[in-house]
Chains A and B, each alone.
Chain A
């Protein structure tokens, strides 16, 4: 498999959200808007690439029986380090993404890729796999977030589309059903996008 195909497979054939169906908790929870989804995706990608590299480097040192705790320790440390670095040097970004960062530790995509790919391949391939899967996750979350944002709050990437009307009392009300921003909308949008993605990916 060429290097490019390795990255592409993370986006299409092994798309973590629509094909592997991993990491559903952050997917459903953070995609209330396109920006939130993208932020969660990018933060996950950073941790995924780093943890994949480290785990593929130390894979021969770790006894099989304790590999899961060892992976988790590595992942949790990276998440903590990234959180502290962001808080210190990019407080603006931290203010926007802060709540999502601790969630990354329990994201099973990261453990899943450590187990399924990084522990069997070299460091460079593992980094590319992290990049591909990370991009796939980021794109999926951004698309889900964008759809929910347009349908739910009538905006895209925070820019209002002005799909509003004035009621008798002069209040500005949105035509869009709020459900899509709330939890049920997350399931509905995810379900339909999953069908659509798999239909298109098969062709």
Chain B
């Protein structure tokens, strides 16, 4: 009895092993082809790519730096993701031109509500329409982040799919952070300083100077102290804390942000709950 079951298991697992052997290479090739296809969709014509892997919010992000035949940078494609979708992960490929303009966005994987959230993958949907061809720092940002109209930004949401639309913006934001990190060599320490960068058009300095700059901008931002303003930023700070916990590229202001977030934790929680 046991011998029969053992034999059946042995034969079937051997079969699975053989098929795995046969299909291993074609599967790898199919996956690579899918990446190349997505890159072609979101980037101007290019010759080769260099890959950088980052982790933001504990999510793996891949940045493909594409160069053309002359060896100049043709653009950056960022494979990004968000956990904030209505049902499950959303993965997207976001293409940036060398000057930061969004070339195109390709939704690789989503399980949103059919007929509502799934429209994010359509060719001409309002989300993509509001972002494509723009440099994100020229858009109306909320705490340095892209946001839908309902949240004070200027990205047109999908009708009756606000959660999916917010998730879309979240994934694009993450792509934008990764793009800035790779393209300009700057490390986006926190979201508030990102906004300051965008407003002044300056690129953050590195090392010790950047720390000071961030502190300064943080302090400057904190001065107008309306309640709503404060709560918004508190929520953000918690975000930052999370980001630093799971991130390789962001780790400088950990202590300061941590203290601040712990201080205001209840408020931040409440903010999260409202979403």
Contact = CB atoms under 8 A, between A and B. Distances in A.
Interface of A: 32-33, 58, 61-63, 65-66, 69-70, 73-74, 76-77, 80-81, 84-85, 87-89, 91, 95, 99, 149, 152-155, 171-174, 178, 181-182
Contacts of B116: 178
B20 A84 contact: yes
22 contacts: A63-B1, A65-B1, A66-B5, A69-B5, A70-B8, A73-B9, A73-B12, A80-B16, A84-B23, A85-B23, A87-B27, A87-B30, A88-B26, A89-B23, A89-B26, A91-B33, A91-B34, A149-B114, A152-B115, A153-B114, A154-B115, A172-B159
A200 B58 CA distance: 55
B160 interface: yes
Nearest to B19: A81
A33 B114 contact: yes
Contacts of B1: 63, 65-66
Interface string B10-43: 0011011001101100110010011000000000
B26 A62 contact: no
Contacts of B159: 171-173
A99 B115 CA distance: 19
Nearest to A98: B109
A91 B8 contact: no
Given A63-B1, A81-B19, A74 B12 contact: yes
Nearest to B1: A63
B113 interface: yes
A73 B7 CA distance: 11
Nearest to A80: B16
A62 B115 contact: no
A62 B9 CA distance: 12
Given A77-B13, A81-B19, A88-B26, A153 B34 contact: no
B27 A152 contact: no
Given A62-B8, A81-B16, A182 B30 contact: no
Contacts of B2: 66
A160 to B, nearest CB: 10
B222 to A, nearest CB: 37
Interface of B is mostly: helix
Contact of A73 (B8, B26, B113, B160): B8
A179 to B, nearest CB: 11
B23 A182 contact: no
B4 interface: yes
Interface of B: 1-2, 4-5, 8-9, 12-13, 15-16, 19-20, 22-23, 26-27, 30, 33-34, 111, 113-116, 159-160
B16 A181 contact: no
Contacts of A85: 19, 23
A129 B30 CA distance: 35
Given A58-B8, A77-B13, A89-B26, A182 B113 contact: yes
A168 B114 CA distance: 24
Chain A CB within 10 Å, residue with most, of B9, B12, B33, B116: B12
Contacts of B5: 66, 69-70, 73
Nearest to A74: B12
Leading 10 A-B pairs by shortest Cβ distance: A153-B115, A88-B26, A88-B23, A77-B12, A91-B30, A84-B23, A63-B1, A32-B114, A66-B5, A81-B19
A81 B114 contact: no
B221 to A, nearest CB: 33
A152 B113 CA distance: 11
Contacts of B111: 99
Nearest to A91: B30
Contacts of B9: 73
Contact of A152 (B19, B20, B34, B114): B114
A69 B6 CA distance: 11
B4 A181 contact: no
A33 B22 CA distance: 34
A84 B19 contact: yes
A182 B161 CA distance: 14
A12 B13 CA distance: 36
Contacts of B8: 58, 62, 70, 73-74
